[in-house]
């Protein structure tokens, strides 16, 4: 609950002054739980594929909230937390997206033509099982 309260507060007052004033909450309720979760999940992800990023680090598995203001006009912080596992922009990724309203999870599929992508390899081997999961959770045609 504190994560969502922090993100809601940041959305209402998206400024460096507010963020600095609430930095302890950010560390305690956003960063530490995210790193703990990633650390706990790392052994499972390692079994899936050794190339999946699973270190609890910013710009590896945790997206920074701060924006690069040289390229982004407006507010200085994102009002969501993204935790993702994969090979960023190189392959498909699993992700968890947190904002003030709750949690979303999913998978980003890289539609590259390369044949050595983790998801493509597994799709060929486990096509029926993957189709069953998509059908069971009613995931077909929900996302673009």
Q: Is the pLDDT of residue 49 over 90?
A: no
Partners of 93 in the β-ladder:
86, 108
Q: In 11-101, which ranges are E strands? A: 81-86, 93-99
What is the mean predicted confidence (pLDDT) over 45-52?
79
Average pLDDT score, the chain: 84
More confident residue, 142 or 111: 111
Domain limits for position 79: 2-110
What is the mean predicted confidence (pLDDT) over 80-109?
84
Residue 50 lies inside a defined structural domain of this protein = yes
Q: How many CB atoms lie within 10 A of CB 75?
A: 14
Residue 74 lies inside a defined structural domain of this protein = yes
The per-residue pLDDT for range 8-39, each reduced to its tens digit, is: 999 999 999 999 999 999 999 999 999 999 99
Q: Is the pLDDT of residue 139 over 70?
A: no
Residue 117 lies inside a defined structural domain of this protein = no
Residue 122 lies inside a defined structural domain of this protein = no
Q: For the chain, what is the domain count?
A: 1
Residue 79 lies inside a defined structural domain of this protein = yes
CB 14 within 8 A of CB 79: yes
More confident residue, 106 or 57: 57
Residue 24 lies inside a defined structural domain of this protein = yes
Residue 123 lies inside a defined structural domain of this protein = no
CB 80 within 8 A of CB 95: no
């Amino acid at each position: 609950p504190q994560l969502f309260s922090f993100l809601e507060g940041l959305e209402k007052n998206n400024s460096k002054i507010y963020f600095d004033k609430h930095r302890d909450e950010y560390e305690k309720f956003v960063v530490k739980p995210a790193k703990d979760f990633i650390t706990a999940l790392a052994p499972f992800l390692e079994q899936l594929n050794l190339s999946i990023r699973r270190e609890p680090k910013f710009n590896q598995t945790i997206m920074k909230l701060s924006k690069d203001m040289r390229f982004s006009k407006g507010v200085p912080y994102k009002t969501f937390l993204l935790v993702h596992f994969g090979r960023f922009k190189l392959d498909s990724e699993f992700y968890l997206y947190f904002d003030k309203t709750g949690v979303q999870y999913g998978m980003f599929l890289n539609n590259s033509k390369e044949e050595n992508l983790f998801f493509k390899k597994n799709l060929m081997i486990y096509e029926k099982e993957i189709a069953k999961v998509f059908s069971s959770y009613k995931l077909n045609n929900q996302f673009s």
